Structure 1
Amino acid sequence: MNKPIIIIGNGGHASVLTEILLLQQRNILGFTAPSEETNAYGVKYLGTDKAIEAYSPEDVELVLGLGTIRVSTIRQSIFRVMKNQGYTFSNCIHPKSIISLTAILAEGIQIMAGAIIQPHAQIGKNTIINTGAIIEHDCLIGAHVHIAPGTTLSGKVIIGDESHIGTGSSIIQGVEIGKNTLIGAGSVVITNIGTNKKAFGVPAKEV
């Protein structure tokens, strides 16, 4: 049974997720934010993240409504704190995404409209597959990753934990991207990129 949802955050990324949840006909209890804010969808402000503790982990699920524009530890930190308190994060999947029956999705995945995930791809926990992104067959995507809008990953690409793959990037088949690595928007990646790196350009080069 689907449990009621609490959304953490109230910015643009949270708005996208709110629409997905409404399309899924999920019951949204409210959202949390550092201070009281209005919400375009009429979702109730519950308080700061501390307000979540008023709800038992058995009675609600969470959706992490904070996006990223670069490598960041904020999403993973919130995820880990709430998991340590026993809470579960709901998968938030747009009905107009396409997901193979053999794809493997971990907890807290967010898949936006027009995204395509092909056979035997694996997506790690708390990862965003943003609007129109293409994840081809046998890709391995780590935890706390953001695959930004319009990105294409060819077959058997590996993305390490906590990496950010910028808008409109393309990564050719079999390439490996390390952990905590940023691939700049519009880059074309044709060789492996290591851990804790930044790479930009066509073809992408480490900087």
Structure 2
Amino acid sequence: MNFITVLLIFLALVLALAISYYFYFYKTTFPKDKVFKQLFILRTLTFFLIALFFINPKIKKNLYTIEKPTLILAVDQSKSISYLKESENIKLAYSSLKADKKLSDKFNIQHFAFGDKIRATDTLKFDDNQTIIYDAIDHLNKLNSKNSALIILSDGNQTNGNDYQYFKAKFPIYTLVAGDTALYADLKINQLNLNDFTFTGNHFPVEAFLQYDGKGAVNTTFKVTENGKLLYSQTL
């Protein structure tokens, strides 16, 4: 409450006392016994509460709480971790982060595992058939606020989903990568479109989408063959 509101409440109390005194002590000749004084107090409270109703004071109370930022630990659970013989290294790194008292004192730590899908857990099995890093980051980005940070423990080999390298998260992302981190040039047929059914001897169109992952220029030849016979060739 501000000063003016406090002043109005004080004046309302003084006015209620003055009016009650006028009616019960100044104008009346009734004996001033115990009941009389009780009525005086009740009348004073009545006038005061009516005045408060019109003043309508508002009490504001500010509460402040200290909320620790969130640290998310997301561990890759795909079979490729075991295949690369990196499961023990991942477990060791994850255990070190969990046992770090400085981290637990400073952050509210959340534990997630991802592979085919993401789930909240701190049990490591490395038995998922796929690694979908993009979906894991997207899920955690929607689940948490800007006052968070994400640590991903993975081999970095995504087998399905969108390219996570271009995902714009609202919090910083840090990675602990296990295994071979070198990038190799990769040229592949990303998509092939053609009719599922056709008559024997008929000609039909084939649409091929080629994808190249690498930094330097490459020279190669795209060929379409049937039973060893070359049907189409193009130098790329």
**What's the TM-score, normalizing by structure 1?**
0.32
Greater fraction of residues in helix: 2
**What's the TM-score, normalizing by structure 2?**
0.29
